[in-house]
DNA sequence: CGGCATCCAATTAGATACTG
DNA sequence: CAGTATCTAATTGGATGCCG
């Protein structure tokens, strides 16, 4: 694991994995899809390359995503969910549905434009 | 709402509500229970009074919790979930189950001691 | 009891430039 | 393309003291 801190409850443990600033969005975009770094940048435009790299490294250290580097020129790196990462999908779907419900309730148009929602 | 920022997807909106440092733990402790400030302090000992107040104010501004102040001496304040806050319970349960599963997989004893788990 | 005000230390995040 | 390095700006969080 990334840290060897102790948690006082399972909720705290879970949020230590997905509580990072862009982690849920990153994971969500990797559901059923392998993406390259530049594709993730486009998917999460608010994250600077530095931030994106940092979050990806933590997700990798926590065993939620897999990073595969191809030794080619120009460089190519692919990110995808591990089995542990896939076990979070129900929670990610719950967050998505809650957010969409919240938008609907207020008549706010869902701003998602990509097919992955 | 607390902020009038725009979100690029429902996941982002949802995490803006529960992404705060102690928010999921606070909400979890309020499931089926009304707690006073000092009880929440005991439930979330890692949060200083200042931090706890801040998180509670944001949760209140977002409409997830209700704050009832009784004009008595000594002061008494009670916090509880609103209907919107209760709609998050499935997600909170998902987080708890994922965390507990993660503990089990590694043979780490579940550190929860309170009945609310 | 349930906070708030203030000050300060520490952490985080953005901007920019650069590289294999 | 996929980052890293450096510097700086902004934010966060802790400690302390005080109050109705």
For residue A74, is the peptide bond before it cis, meaning its omega torsion is within 30 degrees of 0? yes
CATH annotation of B8-104: 1.10.10.10
Of B65, B4, B9, the closest CA to residue A114 belongs to: B9
pLDDT at B117 over 60: no
Tally of CA atoms within 13 A in the half-sphere of B79 that contains its CB: 27
pLDDT at A86 over 90: yes
> For chain A, how long is the longest CA-to-CA vector?
49
Residue B49 contacts A where some CB pair is shorter than 8 Å: no
Nearest CB neighbour to B100, from listed A10, A15, A99: A10
Residue B11 contacts A where some CB pair is shorter than 8 Å: yes
User: What is the percent of chain B with per-residue pLDDT over 70, rounded to a whole number?
Assistant: 88
- State residue B7's pLDDT score: 83
**pLDDT tens-digit map of B40-83:** 999 999 999 999 999 999 999 999 999 999 999 999 999 999 99
Residues of B in contact with A17 (CB under 8 A): 102
pTM (2 d.p.): 0.93
Output the CA–CA distances (angstroms, integers) from residue B55 to A71, B30, B48, B64, B70, in the order listed.
46, 14, 11, 11, 20
Residues of A in contact with B91 (CB under 8 A): 91, 94-95, 98
Output the CA–CA distances (angstroms, integers) from residue A45 to A49, A72, A78, B79, in the order listed.
9, 26, 18, 37
DSSP letters along A43-112, please?
HSTTS-HHHHHHHHHHHHHTTSEEEEEE--SS-EEEEEE-HHHHTTHHHHHHHHHHHHHHHHHHTPPP--
Domain layout of chain A by residue ranges: 8-104
How close does chain A come to B71, measured CA to CA in Å?
A: 34
Identify nearest nucleotide to residue B41 by CA to C1′ distance: C2
């Amino acid at each position: 694991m990334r840290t060897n801190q102790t948690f006082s409850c399972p909720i705290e443990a879970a949020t230590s994995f997905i509580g990072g600033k862009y982690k849920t969005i990153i994971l969500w975009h990797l559901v059923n899809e392998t993406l390259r770094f530049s594709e993730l940048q486009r998917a999460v435009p608010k994250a600077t390359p530095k931030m994106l790299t940092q979050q990806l490294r933590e997700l990798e250290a926590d065993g939620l995503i897999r990073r595969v580097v191809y030794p080619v020129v120009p460089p190519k790196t692919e990110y995808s969910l591990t089995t542990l990462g896939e076990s979070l999908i129900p929670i990610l779907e719950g967050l998505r549905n809650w957010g969409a419900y919240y938008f609907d309730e207020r008549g706010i148009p869902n701003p998602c434009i990509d097919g992955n929602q």
